Amino acid sequence: MKNPDMVDSQDCRDSLVMQTQRVDEDYLVSARTIAYRSGCVIERDGLAIFTLGSAREFRLPSGLAEDPSLVSGILKDIESRSRECEHHPIVVAALPYDLESPVVLTVAEITVVNRTGIPPYAIFVGTQENLQETIDRNLVTEAAQEPDFLGTKSPEHFSLDPVMGHAQFREKIAEAIGAIERGLLQKVVLAREVVVEADRPFLQHELLGRLRALHPSCLSFAIHGFIGATPELLVRKEGSTSASTPLAGTMARSGDPDEDRKLAHALMASPKERREHQYVVDAIHESLRELADQVHAPDSPHILELRNVVHLATTITAEHIDPAIGSLEIASRLHPSPAVCGTPRADAKRFIEDHEGVKRDLYAGLVGYTDASGDGEWWIGIRSAMVDGNRARMLAGVGIVVDSDPKAEFAETQLKLQAMLAVLVRP
């Protein structure tokens, strides 16, 4: 493992071992039920990962910006108890927007993976002394037993508190437009925060159930209180190939199919929206060219339809990447992209620090997984909330370019906040 001094010394006393095995449908359903209640969940079409318990926590005081390969190193140090192991250990994580912020990574005791095309399987991790106990854990029985919190009523009363007033946020946007007009920036993304407080604690399994029902085309996630459904894939890496599907450019949907087609056409034809989108595509394309022999991007974006908005989206693929370069290393090079920061990156970051007025924390950070081989995928943590008991912090950002309109950009934040408001607030 690289840089072992960055990991708490107590974590290195006993080496971890692992074992994998196929699981049946009852085990898979039970793992999902328990993870929905209190574990970690990543779920999209074609992939579901559920993690239970903690085999070990690794504390990285300087975050991942300096050495993102550290995570693969941690996973590679987990020894397989069987000679032939067809699966690699996995870590699921939500990483902060600022990759230099401290990070705690949890290697789960049980990770259950259900991926299209292969039988579902479980990865068990522990020490030589306790691994068998983890393997013998009866999830079917556990799932059938209702924990105490299921007797608790769902929240019924809610209050919403914008951290920054509407007029003040529009003034921030106007300041950003002024900076762009003076040539200090080309694009910058500003976010605003709304806090939801309920009369009772939010229940993770209820929030996840609503997210999957309302946003089936997105990646739903719940990772240590960070909950959401994001539509934006930053990077997916498999072997020597990777893909990224950045989003930028947004328009509301009307609910009428004919009108929505007209709105999508207007979005595609808008010079302002296309310019905002192209900044993101160019930045990711350039970063991937430094890693891959071949990078491909279509000449025009496509329309991504979500529940209440449509986005401009472009899928960028890269081939012949060095297999030693893992998904998290690629993600750390792409992040923060102009989709959540701006361009030029350094100037946009400084503008955000000086003007945004909120602490992003996990919002617009990285959500996903990597395995010991470096394969994995990382999504942008948007359309999300940081949930702590009966309190939820929601953030939504907008990309500002030279011809942005403060009123329109503010209205866009309201649209984006609806994704989580519809999940958190139930009349």
Q: Tens-digit pLDDT profile for the chain (427 aa)?
A: 344 334 443 444 479 999 999 999 999 999 999 999 999 999 999 999 999 999 999 999 989 887 888 898 899 999 887 655 678 899 999 999 999 999 999 999 999 999 999 999 999 999 999 999 999 999 999 999 887 777 778 999 999 999 999 999 999 999 999 999 999 999 999 999 999 999 999 999 999 999 999 999 999 999 999 999 999 999 999 999 999 999 999 999 888 888 989 989 999 999 999 999 999 999 999 999 999 989 999 999 999 999 889 999 999 999 999 888 999 999 999 999 999 999 999 999 999 999 999 999 999 999 999 999 999 999 999 999 999 999 999 999 999 999 999 999 999 999 999 999 999 998 8
Boundary residue ending a domain (117, 147, 177): 147
Boundary residue ending a domain (114, 147, 180): 147
* Domain membership flag for residue 138: yes
Number of H helices, E strands in the chain: 11, 25
* Domain membership flag for residue 152: no
Residue 260 sits in the same domain as residue 387: yes
Q: What is the pLDDT of residue 209?
A: 96
Question: Could you give the CA distance from residue 144 to residue 34 in angstroms, rounded to a whole number?
Answer: 9
Question: Could you give the CA distance from residue 103 to residue 324 in angstroms, rounded to a whole number?
Answer: 23
Asked if residue 232 lies in contact with residue 380, where contact means CB atoms within 8 angstroms, the answer is: yes
Residue 167 sits in the same domain as residue 131: no
What φ, ψ does residue 380 adopt, rounded to 5°? -85, 130
* Domain membership flag for residue 378: yes
Residue 262 sits in the same domain as residue 120: no
Report the domain count for the chain. Answer: 2
- Please identify which residue in the block is written with the tokens 């939820």: 392
Measure the CA angle with vertex 73, ends 76 and 294; round to 5°. 100
Identify which of 232, 257, 264, 246 has the alpha carbon closest to the alpha carbon of residue 380: 232
Cα four-point dihedral sign 111, 218, 212, 395? positive
**Residue 105's domain spans which residues?**
4-147
Residue 101 sits in the same domain as residue 239: no
Residue 270 sits in the same domain as residue 140: no
* Domain membership flag for residue 113: yes
For 376, the 3-state DSSP assignment is strand
Residue 191 sits in the same domain as residue 128: no
Residue 345 sits in the same domain as residue 208: yes
Boundary residue ending a domain (119, 147, 175): 147
In this prediction the pTM is 0.94
Q: What is the pLDDT of residue 153?
A: 87
Residue 254 sits in the same domain as residue 134: no
Cα four-point dihedral sign 136, 71, 2, 104? negative
For 155, the 3-state DSSP assignment is coil
* Domain membership flag for residue 83: yes
- Please identify which residue in the block is written with the tokens 């009307």: 254
CATH code assigned at 412: 3.60.120.10
Residue 34 sits in the same domain as residue 183: no
Helix H segments across 124-270? 131-135, 139-144, 166-181, 204-214, 257-269
Structure tokens at 93: 């994580």
Residue 176 sits in the same domain as residue 311: yes
Residue 124 sits in the same domain as residue 74: yes
